[in-house]
Structure 1
Amino acid sequence: MVVKAELEKLGFKPLLVELGEVTLAKNITPEDKIRISFGLNHFGFELLEDKKTQIAEQVKTAIVNLVHYTREPLKINLSAYLSDQLKQEYAGLSGIFSEVENQTIEKYFIAQKIEKAKEMLTYGELTLSEIAYQLNYSSVAHLSAQFKKVTGITPSAYKAGSADSRKTLDEV
């Protein structure tokens, strides 16, 4: 909504604004791009013109939406999910993501799941077993091992007093 409002304020007519992509009613000039870039930067957005960077951002957005905004347990095949969401083969998405982000899609997915686990631990409404189930870990031991590998502490130690180590989604 912010992107659409800013574009309209700048005098452009966005036909479509979704998942890192904007379609405008008319072609824009290089000067228009500068104005748009400046206007979006004010709100913390950046204009991505490189196709590979756009794809990597779309992958990140799809993973964040899956992990943080889906209410159902994460019982899903990540490669099939991403291919379906972005209408591209997973192998291509994976290669581009690794090139742009210097990490694999799987590591990014795990990092997001650990951040979600931190959030759930902070709220204290679910047991570790329930959190493991929600995040599609095969066992509490698997979740605990991955949590410790990523954060350096166990989920129990985190819950006992390390709540200040959560990251914002764009820092993961």
Structure 2
Amino acid sequence: MKLHIKNMVCNRCKMVVKAELEKLGFKPLLVELGEVSLAENITGEDKIRIAERLNHFGFELLEDKKTQISEQIKTAIINLVHYTKEPLKINLSAYLSELLKLEYTGLSSIFSEVENQTIEKYFIAQKIEKAKEMLTYAELTLSEIAYQLNYSSVAHLSAQFKKVTGITPSAYKAASTDSRKTLDEV
């Protein structure tokens, strides 16, 4: 049986969810971002127990199909931006359509309805958070960051960065405060 879980955005989240399900006596076969496959079917009472336990850690069991699709889109984008080692040379609409086996227009409509923002804005926000992370660690130049995040130029990255954050990448790097967000807050 599959469970869809909101706010699973990192490997630690996967470990916590797996451990908590095992404490409740369930056998997770596969734990992925936003999704768990259990060996057994569960009852409505089991779902309530799982939901209550996961809520303590900031996770939410998803029942609604549109919300599940929206979370799958968010998970796919987070995986793409934050966990892919290769530069982001990809057509986002084709990537999401192929991954989720649905037309992009339908995905876009559902996402906008559930999240009150477009997929593109969410994607840009995730890319900016990744840029902040890269700037914080100071291992790459701005040019290398722009390339990794598939911006056409440093100017394009800088303009989008400023539009989202209100400051330039250089100003962000020079500032001593870290205004990064956790992935579930983006």
Q: TM-score, structure 1 length as denominator?
A: 0.92
Deviations 1:134-155 (A, max 9, x none): 1100111111110110000111
- Which is bigger in relative contact order (C-alpha 8 A, separation at least 6)? 2
- Which residue in the other structure is 2:148 paired with? 134
Q: 1:26 to 1:110 in 2, by over 3 A?
A: same
Number of matched pairs: 172
The alignment partner of 1:116 has SS state of: helix
The match for 2:128 is 114
Change (3 A) 1:17 1:166: closer
Give the one of 140, 158, 161 matched to 1:144.
Answer: 158
SS at match of 1:22: strand
1:112-152: CA deviations, max 9, x gaps? 00111111111111111111111100111111110110000
2:163 paired with 1:124: no
Residue 78 of structure 2 corresponds to 64
C-alpha distance after superposition, 1:147-170 (max 9, x if no partner): 110000111111111542111111
For structure 2, the residue ranges without an aligned partner over 5 or more in a row are 1-14
Q: Say yes or no: does 1:159 pair with 2:173.
A: yes
Distance between the aligned counterparts of 2:120 and 2:172, measured in 1? 23
AA aligned to 1:105 is: I
Which residue does the alignment assign to 1:171? Answer: 185
Q: Once superposed, what is the RMSD of the aligned Cα atoms?
A: 1.6
The answer on whether the counterparts of 1:122 and 1:163 sit within 8 Å (CA) in structure 2 is: no
Q: Aligned residue for 1:32?
A: 46
SS at match of 1:165: coil
1:86 to 93, 96, 100: 100
Conserved in 2, the CA contact under 8 Å of 1:73 and 1:136?
yes
Amino acid at match of 1:20: G
Quote how far apart the aligned CAs of 1:22 are.
3.2
